[in-house]
């Protein structure tokens, strides 16, 4: 089932559902009394969820013995970037009206913005180089090394979230714990690979 073209279509549509919900609410004028805040929170939530989902693909495919799950990783990652771009654009365009003075003031007044920018900037090269053409251009090893930036994205996104909440830190802690578990899993897998060079060949192709 996971190998079929329809599975990819299904994952694509599933990742579009939040955007559809947002568009529907916007169309109906149902974006709460503070639409900018609502869109910022909604897109930020989906960006971080999909970053974590992208990180979870490799461990899940190994633990569940479902190698075909890898077919969806790039798409999920690109959707994470899509929601992060909407999130960034909402802040930049709707909230700050492209006013560079206000934007620079926000960086100094609200340091969590710097963590958000770090997360966003570290996602950008991943999205740009996600094509087969870029894998060929960079070569597998360099491409894989670059794509480890996803861990920087995930950590920066958690710091961003943790920093911005004022009292209820439950969700930042949930995301932080998930990222820590996934990072520990990946670190264990790299460590095993270094210790057993023979395994490196087999695991290498699937590393994230
Ligand atoms: C330049 C990039 C970014 C900027 C300027 C930015 C800005 C913001 C702002 C202004 C808020 C609302 C803060 C408040 O309510 O006081 C927010 C919330 C949030 N952002 Fe970002 N952000 C950026 C990047 C990211 C990225 C890349 C992610 C995830 C991958 C992310 C995830 C979140 C989350 C999860 C929330 C909280 C949502 C909630 O409370 O439900 N942000 N961000």
**CA separation, residue 181 to residues 56, 66, 151 (Å):** 10, 20, 12
Domain boundaries, the chain: 5-207
Residue 101, token pair as written in the block: 């003075």
46: helix, coil or strand?
A: helix
C-alpha 175 – ligand 1 centre gap (Å): 14
Higher pLDDT, residue 178 or 166: 178
Per-residue pLDDT at 43: 98
Q: How far apart are CA 54 and CA 72, in angstroms?
A: 9
Q: Which of 22, 40, 76 to mutate to test the pocket of ligand 1 (most atoms within 8 A of CB)?
A: 40
d(CA 196, CA 208): 18
Handedness of CA 122, 125, 127, 130 (dihedral sign): negative
* Number of alpha helices (DSSP H) and beta strands (DSSP E) in the chain: 10, 0
User: What does the alpha-carbon distance between residue 22 and residue 157 come to, in Å, rounded to a whole number?
Assistant: 21
Q: Say how far apart CA 179 and CA 89 lie, in whole Å.
A: 25
Pocket test for ligand 1, best of 22, 35, 43, 44 (most atoms within 8 A of CB): 44
pLDDT in tens, 45-101: 999 999 999 999 999 999 999 999 999 999 999 999 999 999 999 999 999 999 999
Residue nearest to atom 4 of ligand 1 (CA): 116
CA 150 to ligand 1 center in whole angstroms: 17
Specify the pTM: 0.93
What lies within 8 Å, CB to CB, of 119 at 6+ separation is: 51, 84, 152, 153, 154, 156, 157, 160
Burial of 138 (0-12, 13-18, 19+ CB in 10 A): middle
List pLDDT tens digits, range 116-149: 999 999 999 999 999 999 999 999 999 999 999 9
Mean pLDDT for the chain? 93
Give the model confidence (pLDDT) of 57-71 as tens digits. 999 999 999 999 999
């Amino acid at each position: 089932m996971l190998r079929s073209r329809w599975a990819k279509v299904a994952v694509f549509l599933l990742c579009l559902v939040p955007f559809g919900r947002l568009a529907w609410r916007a169309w109906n004028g149902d974006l709460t009394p503070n639409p900018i805040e609502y869109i910022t929170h909604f897109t930020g939530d989906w960006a971080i969820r999909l970053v974590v989902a992208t990180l979870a693909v490799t461990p899940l495919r190994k633990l569940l013995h479902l190698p075909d799950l890898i077919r969806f990783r790039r798409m999920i990652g690109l959707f994470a970037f899509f929601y992060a771009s909407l999130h960034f654009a909402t802040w930049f365009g709707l909230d700050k009206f492209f006013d560079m003075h206000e934007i620079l003031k926000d960086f100094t007044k609200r340091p969590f913005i710097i963590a958000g920018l770090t997360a966003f900037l570290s996602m950008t090269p991943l999205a740009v180089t996600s094509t087969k053409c870029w894998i060929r251009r960079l070569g597998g090893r360099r491409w894989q090394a670059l794509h480890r930036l996803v861990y920087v994205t995930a950590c920066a996104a958690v710091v961003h979230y943790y920093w911005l909440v004022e009292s209820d830190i439950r969700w930042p802690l949930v995301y932080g714990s998930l990222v820590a578990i996934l990072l520990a899993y990946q670190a264990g897998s790299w460590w095993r690979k270094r210790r057993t060079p023979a395994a490196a060949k087999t695991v290498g192709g699937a590393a994230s």
